[in-house]
Amino acid sequence: MPTVSVIYFSGTGHTTKLAEAVHKGAASVAGVQTNLIAIKGEDIVHGRYKNDAVFAQLDASDAIIFGSATYMGGPAAQFKAFADATAGKWFAAAWKDKISAGFTVSMSPSGDKLSTLHYFFTLAMQHGMIWIGQPEMPLQPNGVNRLGSNSGVMAQAGQESPDIAPSEGDKLTGEILGQRVAEYALKLKK
C-alpha cells in the first residue's frame, strides 16, 4: 500500500487548514495510507531540525507533499531548517523517485508564493523526486485554482475572516492536488 505524507509548517493556522485539505484529498483515494506531519518549533534546536521519527515516516513514504506559509518571498525559516536537515537523505539518495508536490499560503493574492513553490520544486529535484503540479484550469467558478498556479497550490489568508481562511475554493484546490498525488502513488506502486 503506498503512503503519502504531507509535511508542513504553519505559523498562524492558515497553512494547517490547507495541509488538512491536501491530506483529505490524498486520504480519499482507496488503497493509500497517509500521514499529516507538522514541523514543530521544539524539533528545531540551535537552528537545526531534528526528528528521527518524522524522517523515518518520510523515508517510508512513496510521496511527500511539502507545505509552508510564504514569508518574505519564500518558505518559513522553520520549513527551511527542515529542508536543510534533509541533506543526509540527499547524500544517500533516500528520496530518489518519490513523488512530490507543494502548497503555500500568504496574505496577498501573489505574496511571492511562486518563489516558495519553486523552492519546494528545487528541493524535490535535488532529491531526484518526481514533481506533480496542479492540473486545474485557473479561475474556475467554484474557486478552484483561483490564483492561477500550475506549479502547486497557492492559497490566500486574510481574504475573508481569519477564522475561515483559506477560502473553500483554495481548500478544494488543495484536496484535488492531494488526490492527484495519491492516485499517482497508487499507479507507481502497482
pLDDT at 17: 95
Is the pLDDT at 94 greater than 80? The verdict is yes
Separation of CA 50 from chain center: 19
Binned at pLDDT 50, 70 and 90, residue 118 comes out as: very high
Please report how the helices 14-27 and 168-189 are oriented relative to each other, as an axis angle in degrees rounded to 10.
40
Contact 5, 65 (CB under 8 A): yes
pLDDT at 165: 77
Question: Strands, E, within 14-173: which ranges?
Answer: 33-38, 44-45, 48-49, 63-71, 74-75, 99-106, 130-131, 153-156
Q: Which three cell numbers stand for residue 68?
A: 509552508
Specify the higher pLDDT residue, 57 or 158: 57
Q: For residue range 5-56, what is the model confidence (pLDDT) as tens digits?
A: 999 999 989 999 999 999 999 999 999 999 999 999 999 999 999 999 999 9
Binned at pLDDT 50, 70 and 90, residue 190 comes out as: confident
Is the pLDDT at 69 greater than 60? The verdict is yes
End-to-end CA distance of the chain: 9
Task: Determine the average pLDDT of the residues in 152-163.
Answer: 77
- In whole numbers, what is the pLDDT of the chain averaged over residues? 94
Task: Determine the average pLDDT of the residues in 98-118.
Answer: 93
pLDDT at 110: 80
What fold, for 3-189?
Rossmann fold (3.40.50)
